[in-house]
């Protein structure tokens, strides 16, 4: 078998040959490894296995992009198998310009003379391409530029070396862990997305979704678990959305109020009430089911989506005013 520069045996694909690993094995960048599916099961008392119970044999597996730690490991290294640290990305939290120099507040390890791209800032004049770093400090750096849009704070912009291989390279910024913003107000949803790592310029708030009252035809409740029946309700009010139930009369008035949808079917939505009891009424025709205006009905990227890049875009859609 061939060996690498460190004297490690290599397999036929040029990967380090690993027979068995005790404890933690460092994560490796992706190459031509398999998906990690078991290839055989060694039975108890098999050759060289005199006293162990049966176990499965797995080949070396690729990094799994569904795990944040694996995605980050992939981003931080370039030029496999040389293991060269990738060019970094960093977050910009504030900017100011005086007509000659622009100062970016940003924890960084840049050196003077490096060229960078700055994106995602709300003051577009400060989003610069191929800018040359001057006067780098641990918490800031400057570029010579005439941009002067005043001082802006509370930013979540990004600065990236122009020699970075991909948008996700570097230890400064990991992949986004997409949060669920369904049911939150638009303002809260925007804050959550910014905190998660989305750039402000890449978040779109769509035109509010139509919110005409749906007709309630039946209601039921067992203990605190309530269900409303209304044609097409499952699509109109996805799980997590906020709904308002109104105009129900005795004995169903306890279901009037604002609730969070916990489950849906084609023609039903379910939620948990603050009171308990058994209810079951059919034959209704009450225009009393709406989404809560200004709360998010849908998001274009599902919560928990794997390996979402920091340059990704997302659209959120709130409910319009009820009608």
| Res 144: pLDDT | 96
What is the DSSP code string of 50-93?
A: SSS--EEE---B---TTSHHHHHHHHTEESTTS-EEPPPEEEEE
Q: Using CA atoms, how far apart are residues 200 and 234, in angstroms rounded to an integer?
A: 31
Mean pLDDT of the chain: 84
Kindly state the percentage of the chain with pLDDT values over 70: 72
Q: Give the pLDDT band of residue 55 (cuts 50, 70, 90).
A: low
* Structural domain range at position 285: 214-292
159 with 256, same domain? Answer: no
Q: What is the mean pLDDT of residues 292-318?
A: 89
Q: What is the mean pLDDT of residues 44-49?
A: 55
55 with 71, same domain? Answer: no
30 with 69, same domain? Answer: no
| Res 5: pLDDT | 73
45 with 71, same domain? Answer: no
95 with 166, same domain? Answer: yes
81 with 49, same domain? Answer: no
| Stretch among 30-39, 75-84, 131-140, 209-218 having the lowest mean pLDDT | 75-84
| Res 321: pLDDT | 97
| Stretch among 14-18, 238-242, 260-264 having the lowest mean pLDDT | 14-18
| Res 3: pLDDT | 76
Whether 71 shows a pLDDT value over 90: the answer reads no
98 with 51, same domain? Answer: no
Backbone angles phi, psi at 224, to 5 degrees: -105, 0
Q: Considering the domain boundaries, does residue 52 fall inside one?
A: yes
| Res 28: pLDDT | 62
Q: Using CA atoms, how far apart are residues 290 and 216, in angstroms rounded to an integer?
A: 10
Of 5-14, 46-55, 217-226, the range with the highest mean pLDDT is 217-226
Residue 1 or residue 40, greater confidence: 40
Whether 268 shows a pLDDT value over 60: the answer reads yes
CA 268 to the chain's CA centroid:
29
Q: Considering the domain boundaries, does residue 309 fall inside one?
A: no
CATH number at residue 155: 2.40.30.180
Residue indicated by tokens 């933690």? 24
70 with 163, same domain? Answer: yes
Q: Considering the domain boundaries, does residue 209 fall inside one?
A: no
pLDDT tens-digit map of 77-123 = 665 555 566 667 788 989 999 999 999 999 888 889 999 999 888 88
pLDDT tens-digit map of 33-43 = 666 666 666 65
Q: Give the pLDDT band of residue 66 (cuts 50, 70, 90).
A: low
| Stretch among 152-156, 172-176, 207-211 having the lowest mean pLDDT | 172-176
* Structural domain count, the chain: 3
Please choose, from the candidates 244, 214, 243, 240, the residue with its C-alpha nearest in 3D space to the C-alpha of residue 229. Answer: 214
Q: Give the pLDDT band of residue 52 (cuts 50, 70, 90).
A: low
| Res 23: pLDDT | 63
54 with 75, same domain? Answer: no
């Amino acid at each position: 078998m061939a060996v690498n520069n460190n004297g490690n045996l290599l397999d036929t694909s040029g990967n380090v040959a690993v027979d068995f690993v005790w404890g933690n094995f460092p994560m490796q960048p992706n190459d031509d490894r398999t998906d990690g599916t078991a290839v055989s099961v060694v039975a108890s008392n098999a050759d060289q296995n005199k006293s162990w119970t049966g176990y499965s044999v797995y080949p070396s597996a690729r990094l799994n992009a569904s795990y944040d730690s694996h995605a980050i490991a992939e981003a931080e290294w370039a030029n496999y198998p040389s293991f060269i640290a990738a060019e970094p990305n960093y977050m910009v939290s504030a900017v100011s310009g005086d007509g000659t120099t622009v100062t970016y507040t940003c924890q960084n390890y840049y050196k003077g003379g490096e060229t960078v791209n700055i994106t995602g800032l709300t003051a577009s004049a400060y989003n610069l391409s191929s800018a040359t770093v001057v006067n780098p400090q641990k918490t800031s750096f400057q570029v010579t530029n005439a941009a002067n849009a005043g001082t802006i704070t509370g930013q979540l912009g990004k600065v990236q070396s122009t020699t970075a291989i991909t948008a996700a390279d570097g230890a400064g910024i990991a992949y986004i862990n997409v949060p669920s913003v369904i049911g939150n107000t638009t303002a809260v949803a925007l804050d959550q997305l910014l905190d998660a790592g989305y750039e402000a310029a890449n978040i779109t708030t769509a035109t509010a979704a139509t919110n005409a009252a749906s007709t309630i035809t039946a209601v039921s409740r067992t203990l605190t678990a309530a269900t409303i029946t209304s044609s097409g309700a499952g699509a109109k009010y996805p799980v997590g959305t906020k709904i308002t139930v109104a105009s129900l009369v005795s004995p169903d008035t306890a279901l009037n109020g604002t609730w969070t949808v916990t489950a849906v079917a084609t023609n039903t939505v379910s939620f948990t009430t603050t009171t308990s009891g058994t209810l079951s009424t059919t034959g209704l025709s009450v225009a009393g089911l709406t989404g809560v205006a200004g709360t998010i009905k849908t998001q274009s990227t599902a919560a928990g989506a794997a390996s979402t890049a920091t340059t990704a875009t997302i659209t959120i859609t709130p409910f319009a005013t009820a009608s």
